Amino acid sequence: MRISYDNELGGSSTSSAARFRQQTLKNSIYCSGTGLHGGAKVAMSLHPAAPDTGIVFRRSDIAGEDAVIQGRYDMVSDTRLCTTLSNEAGVSISTVEHLMAALAGCGLDNVIVEINGPEIPIMDGSSEPFVFLIDCAGVEMQDAPRRVIRVLKPVSVEDGGSTARIEPWVGSSINIELDFESAVIGRQSLFMDMLSESFRERLSRARTFGFLHEVEALQAAGLARGGSMENAVVISGDTVLNEGGLRFDDECARHKALDCVGDLYLAGAMLIGHFHGVRPGHAINNRLLRELLADESAWEMADMDEIADEIAAVEARGELVRA
């Protein structure tokens, strides 16, 4: 992994006012790495962007307007093995979920991601390297209110043994449940309050995981060509093959939560609601967003400072934050 940056190092904004204003990067920053599925070396840079830009991907190896891909749920074209975005010209960028999770967890609203290939580098399989990049570049508060999407009624989707549901909540939270036969995972659950708990400490270091027989089958089919134990947790039966084992006892649940944070940030703003996923994946996460945002009675746009006042009032009364 190679990293460089412009100007002096910065750090993430810690001001309480930052929750209510849009944020971007102070400086541009660059890195290089390998694509998990294509196996190609890629160079990526993150750049500051104006208020209300959102997250925008730009393929530097493609000429003209066709190079631009909006980081939105309705641009998702494939959810096999990762989340892939495509524009109308058919230009795509894949494996966006870990970077999107880092941008969400660090409170960044407006960023231009420039990359010279079709896949975001996998780095170590988590969001931590991207959080490090953001810390190096620094975070800058902008003169525009942060907009959020407030969930007004429950919406749920099912797909085989997987379910995803989002419902009204005075805050933003995620609950994940996993159930695998492997003793490495077994039954795991995790609850994360995205407004009061640290994405950096609880989720960012959790790595993607897979089973050895699945990895071998994918690589035999010409997929996951960049995968290794340097960028994924590999499980064989009831054993973790990686030297050093797991970073957390529930690393798999934490990584599923990380994926959900990234996939849900493709809504275009933070969701004010409670997400509950049972064995969730990229496909069902995107289906849930499409169901939610297609129903104009199920959500509304609001300013973050309005939501914060409501949360403070509920907490002051000692009530639960559920709507």
Model pTM?
A: 0.92
* Higher pLDDT among residues 7 and 321, named by residue: 321
Task: Specify whether 312 is located in the same domain as 203.
Answer: yes
Task: Specify whether 153 is located in the same domain as 130.
Answer: no
All residues at 6 or more sequence positions from 65 whose CB lies less than 8 Å from its CB, including other chains: none
Q: What percent of the chain has pLDDT over 90?
A: 76
As a whole number, mean pLDDT of residues 70-99 equals 96
pLDDT digit string (tens) for 117-170? Answer: 999 999 999 999 999 999 999 999 999 999 999 999 999 999 988 999 999 998
User: How are the residues of the chain apportioned to helix, strand and coil, as percentages rounded to the nearest 5?
Assistant: 25, 35, 40
Range(s) of the domain holding residue 257: 148-210+244-316
Q: In this structure, are residues 112 and 47 in contact, taking their beta carbons and an 8 Å threshold?
A: yes
Task: Specify whether 33 is located in the same domain as 171.
Answer: no
| Dist CA 141 CA 144 (whole Å) | 9
Task: Specify whether 81 is located in the same domain as 161.
Answer: no
Q: Judge whether residue 201 has pLDDT over 60.
A: yes
| Dist CA 2 CA 207 (whole Å) | 19
Task: Specify whether 55 is located in the same domain as 128.
Answer: yes
All residues at 6 or more sequence positions from 287 whose CB lies less than 8 Å from its CB, including other chains: 157, 159, 164
pLDDT digit string (tens) for 244-260? Answer: 999 999 999 999 999 99
Task: Specify whether 286 is located in the same domain as 205.
Answer: yes
pLDDT digit string (tens) for 247-294? Answer: 999 999 999 999 999 999 999 999 999 999 999 999 999 999 999 999
> Which residues belong to the active site?
282
108 within domain boundaries: yes
Q: Judge whether residue 7 has pLDDT over 90.
A: no
Q: Where does residue 318 fall: left (phi above 0), alpha (psi -120 to 50 degrees), or beta otherwise?
A: left
Task: Specify whether 201 is located in the same domain as 118.
Answer: no
| Dist CA 139 CA 106 (whole Å) | 9
Give 76's strand partners.
85
Q: In this structure, are residues 90 and 13 in contact, taking their beta carbons and an 8 Å threshold?
A: no
**pLDDT at position 3, please?**
44
